[in-house]
Structure 1
Amino acid sequence: MLGTKVIQKILRIDRVLKDYDQIEKSDDVQQFIQNTLSYYNINLEYIEEHLERISSSGPTVVVANHPFGGMEGLILPYLLLSVRKDVRILANPVLKAFPSLDSLFLYVAPYQTQEAYRNNIQATKKAFQWLKSGGMLVVFPAGEVSHITWNNWTVRDPNWSNSIVRMVRKTNANVIPMFFHNRNSSFFQAAGLIHPKLRTALLPSELLNKRDQTIRISIGKKISYAKIPFELNDTEIASYLRFRTYMLAQSPSKGAIATAFQKMIKAKKKMEVITAHRGTKLLITELNALPKNQKLDQAKDFEVYYAYAAQIPNILHEIGRLREKTFRRVGEGTGKSIDLDEFDQHYIHLFAWNSTRKEMIGAYRMGLVDQIVAEKGVKGLYTRQLFTFDEHFIQKIIPAIELGRSFIRPKYQKNYASLLILWKGISKFIVQNPRYHTLFGTVSISNEYSNFSKHLIMDYVKRHTYDQNLSQDVRPITPPKGKMKLKEMEESLLYTFIQEIDDVSEMIADYEVAYQGVPILLKHYLKLGGKMIGFNVDPDFQNAVDGLILVDLRKTQEKTLKFYMGKEGFDQFSQHHPSSQDKAS
């Protein structure tokens, strides 16, 4: 008996038990956990809106890293019970110190004994039954606490058990990744290097030393059962779920978000007031004066036109005004009262118009490269302000159209028809001028994206969609600095599980606060077969990263061109470019 008390004192189990006696009890599990967190003065930092990512019903497995070996088993149910009540947790027996939570836990011991093995099998069976009944199960698939090793000095989970994959597969469960940004003490990490059992022995102490800490948690987006890559084997899928969880390590803290917001506010204070609208009547007068052939397409009340600057001084003023207003909303913009420059005078303006509401939807700026270079040289091209290239490069890509300064005003951005009418307009313009076969220009990555996201996008593009030949002829004026820095994750996993631009987009949507993934225009260009040529930072556009991208329409899939050009338009284009008919459909 004396020996047990001595061991409990050494391992500080006695202190955990004393603390439990002092914590105010409650029949409500969530309330008891709140009392426990308050007793230890533990604050939780997470984005409240991301609680909406948690499924409110149906079989769901929550996977998380295992940095503490105890406290996370209290924190996760506290958050999850605010969304749904049918929560169970596969937890470490150290939490038996809190008997008020017994109904919540299915205990899984990290010990290699026969008794632990038998108990773990029973707990796993109960977990299966719970999921099959439609419940939510919280799992720490590492099976042991995050730690350093002699081979790797980053605190992280070891490889995850593939038993979690069998649970998901057999119960058709969705998966929600969650990530803890904190870790156990340095003493704990050092002790584990001496012997793994020392880590286990120190778990009660680590439970106690979380007092007065702020623990930060990131909640990932739901990975639906249908999107889990079951073509992989169970070990690879477990690695994928671990990867998705550790990608959340890139999530910015609330402090970083607040700092970025303050910078944005300060930047906006320095910006000029956007110029006023000149009046709808002036716009309609100019619109009605355009030749009929400059109306390129119409879909219900959405119309698309092209015009020259001299034809539309007031419409161009409205385009410049709305450009600036739209770009500022995403951390870009010139900061001037209107976004118009010298290039607008010799470029063509393609714009979409709502004929019912009598207002602008969005616009593109188009430059006929061969004409501009013949009249003004390569410096007559807007892209030449961002990248250095000469006529040798131009000869490789002409006949080409430079696209840029595209925008869709915010009220229309959720309507797919807005972007569609603009792209059908560009396609119909090419049908009218079929000698042009190449589109090129810049696509922006706002500076409001985190550095990690910007570098992740650039790195993906350089690996998968980069034109090494053409890039030799182009140099950025201000090349991006730095490189992608992964937090707490092996770089090899990044390139194993990110193979498509949609994979990049899904990753970014998980941890970026303001963005739902990769910029929509970049995704669109890449799906047209676009190739990136280079990247530049634009100091006149709030330090946005501009990617110089090129789309050779002769290599775009036939079905895609027919969708935008129509069958007759595609046939006309193909007659000028016979090789385009040989593309894979």
Structure 2
Amino acid sequence: MHCRRWWPIASGKTTEARDGEGLGFVTDTPQTDRVAQARQDRKYDMRRLSYAGTFKNPVKANTIRTIEWLSAKVTLLRLIRDFERSGAPFGSPFWPKAVRQMGIRIDTPEDEIALIPKTGPLVVVANHPHGLVDGMIMAELVNRVRSDFKILTRSLLTGIPEVEQFMIPVPFPHEENARELGLEMRNQTMAHLKQGGVIILFPAGKVAMSEGFFGPAIESEWNVFTHKMIQRSGAAILPIHFTGQNSRAFLIANKLSDTLRQGLLLYEIKRALFKAQRPYIGAPISAAELEKWEGNPRGFLAWLRQHTLDLGKQG
């Protein structure tokens, strides 16, 4: 059995430890002890499992970390340790195993998965009701058809060597060098599409929020960069719809404080564990659709957003 690290260590170096090349039992020897100690030393640094890392204000950062520990972090770390012990594969096999480890069953039927184009540049868009789990599920759905995809994602999923090839980091608006990082993100995205690859993104750029304390969560307007990406690359568009919304506690926290909202993001990951998900996949849309919206990119995005949301009404 192979036992690989799932997450990077604190130094950021990507090393690997194995406990043998077969399926036999390992006897207690000095060499075995050294291997076991090496594995212990290379465990995922629990400090990385946090949304506080991009905040320079120590009060905000420590508040976020405290909320994370109280609400979700122990459960998530236990899950990560189990995943480490079972052996985290590199590349495409990572996604189905990670989703299974999270106890998430994807109920999308095969005839919808078959709608995913097997070749050619493709932009996969979706509404964003939950958070990180939405991205994990989208990656696994596309991964069942093709492996040349990259996900525009926040920092929590970046820096993981097993899936680093699939990631394009998206900076948070509050980061000091957000403008420079955003430009780099756009350049990487366009380069990948020009090579005929797939880009997975959430055009809203953030999870759905309620307008008041007790109203339903509403998908935000979609970023105009999505239109530019499709227009310049000529990529086809694949819409995916997720049902549901985050907890009422999260939606209320968003109205009270950015710090409280950020602190509960791990809790929303925990809430999504060991549940079924039924994303709806729509038919691919040709980039030629943009011609109907010449000079009106926001009109096109409003139409695409509503089209994606309407996919959920077919269930």
Same-fold status (TM-score > 0.5): yes
Q: Which residue of the other structure, out of 283, 297, 301, is the alignment partner of 1:234?
A: 297
The match for 1:415 is none
CA distance in 2, matches of 1:7, 1:182: 25
Matched-pair contact (CA < 8 Å) for 2:213–2:251: no
Q: Which residue of the other structure, out of 51, 54, 66, is the alignment partner of 2:113?
A: 51
- Residues 127-153 of structure 1: CA distance to partner in whole angstroms, max 9, x if unpaired? 010001110100100011111112992
Mapping of residues 135-150 of structure 1, within 5 Å? 135-150=197-212
Q: Could you tell me which amino acid in structure 2 is paired with residue 20 of structure 1?
A: I
Q: Could you tell me which amino acid in structure 2 is paired with residue 34 of structure 1?
A: P
Mapping of residues 255-334 of structure 1, within 5 Å? none
Residue 57 to residue 213, structure 1, CA distance change in 2 (3 Å): same
Matched-pair contact (CA < 8 Å) for 1:30–1:77: no
Q: Could you tell me which amino acid in structure 2 is paired with residue 54 of structure 1?
A: I
The match for 1:169 is 231
CA distance in 1, matches of 2:255, 2:169: 26
Mapping of residues 420-439 of structure 1, within 5 Å? none
Percent of residue pairs identical? 25
Q: Which moved more, 1:105-114 or 1:18-27?
A: 18-27
Q: Could you tell me which amino acid in structure 1 is paired with residue 221 of structure 2?
A: N
The match for 2:261 is 199
CA distance in 2, matches of 1:92, 1:140: 11
Q: Which structure's residues are more often strand, by fraction?
A: 1
- State the Cα distance separating 1:222 from its structure 2 match: 0.6
The match for 1:40 is 102
- Residues 399-422 of structure 1: CA distance to partner in whole angstroms, max 9, x if unpaired? xxxxxxxxxxxxxxxxxxxxxxxx
- Residues 480-520 of structure 1: CA distance to partner in whole angstroms, max 9, x if unpaired? xxxxxxxxxxxxxxxxxxxxxxxxxxxxxxxxxxxxxxxxx
CA distance in 2, matches of 1:6, 1:149: 25
Gaps of 5+ in 2: 1-46, 48-57
CA distance in 1, matches of 2:161, 2:79: 13
Residue 68 to residue 151, structure 1, CA distance change in 2 (3 Å): closer
Mapping of residues 159-558 of structure 1, within 5 Å? 159-228=221-290, 229-252=292-315
**Greater length-normalized contact order (CA 8 Å, ≥ 6 residues apart):** 2
The match for 1:473 is none
SS in 1 for 2:218: coil
CA distance in 1, matches of 2:199, 2:105: 24
Q: Could you tell me which amino acid in structure 1 is paired with residue 301 of structure 2?
A: A
Q: Which residue of the other structure, out of 57, 76, 82, is the alignment partner of 1:22?
A: 82
CA distance in 2, matches of 1:25, 1:220: 34
SS in 1 for 2:92: helix
- State the Cα distance separating 1:169 from its structure 2 match: 0.3
Q: Could you tell me which amino acid in structure 1 is paired with residue 224 of structure 2?
A: N
- Residues 374-429 of structure 1: CA distance to partner in whole angstroms, max 9, x if unpaired? xxxxxxxxxxxxxxxxxxxxxxxxxxxxxxxxxxxxxxxxxxxxxxxxxxxxxxxx
The match for 2:220 is 158
CA distance in 2, matches of 1:120, 1:100: 24
CA distance in 2, matches of 1:96, 1:18: 20
Aligned residues, how many? 252
SS in 2 for 1:239: helix
Larger radius of gyration: 1
CA distance in 1, matches of 2:87, 2:244: 27
Does residue 10 of structure 1 match 2:70? no
The match for 2:14 is none
- State the Cα distance separating 1:199 from its structure 2 match: 2.2
CA distance in 2, matches of 1:114, 1:187: 29
Q: Could you tell me which amino acid in structure 1 is paired with residue 121 of structure 2?
A: P
CA distance in 2, matches of 1:11, 1:97: 20
SS in 2 for 1:111: coil
Matched-pair contact (CA < 8 Å) for 1:34–1:78: yes
Matched-pair contact (CA < 8 Å) for 2:67–2:263: no
Residue 5 to residue 32, structure 1, CA distance change in 2 (3 Å): farther
- Residues 269-325 of structure 1: CA distance to partner in whole angstroms, max 9, x if unpaired? xxxxxxxxxxxxxxxxxxxxxxxxxxxxxxxxxxxxxxxxxxxxxxxxxxxxxxxxx
CA distance in 2, matches of 1:25, 1:111: 35
- State the Cα distance separating 1:209 from its structure 2 match: 1.7
The match for 1:91 is 153
- Residues 427-469 of structure 1: CA distance to partner in whole angstroms, max 9, x if unpaired? xxxxxxxxxxxxxxxxxxxxxxxxxxxxxxxxxxxxxxxxxxx
Matched-pair contact (CA < 8 Å) for 1:110–1:144: no
SS in 2 for 1:29: coil
Does residue 108 of structure 1 match 2:165? no
Matched-pair contact (CA < 8 Å) for 1:45–1:214: yes
SS in 2 for 1:71: helix
- State the Cα distance separating 1:5 from its structure 2 match: 8.1
CA distance in 1, matches of 2:170, 2:94: 22
CA distance in 1, matches of 2:159, 2:266: 9
**Structure-2-length-normalised TM-score:** 0.73
- State the Cα distance separating 1:73 from its structure 2 match: 1.2
What's the Cα RMSD here? 2.5
- Residues 197-255 of structure 1: CA distance to partner in whole angstroms, max 9, x if unpaired? 43222111211221121111000011111223332511111112111111112021xxx
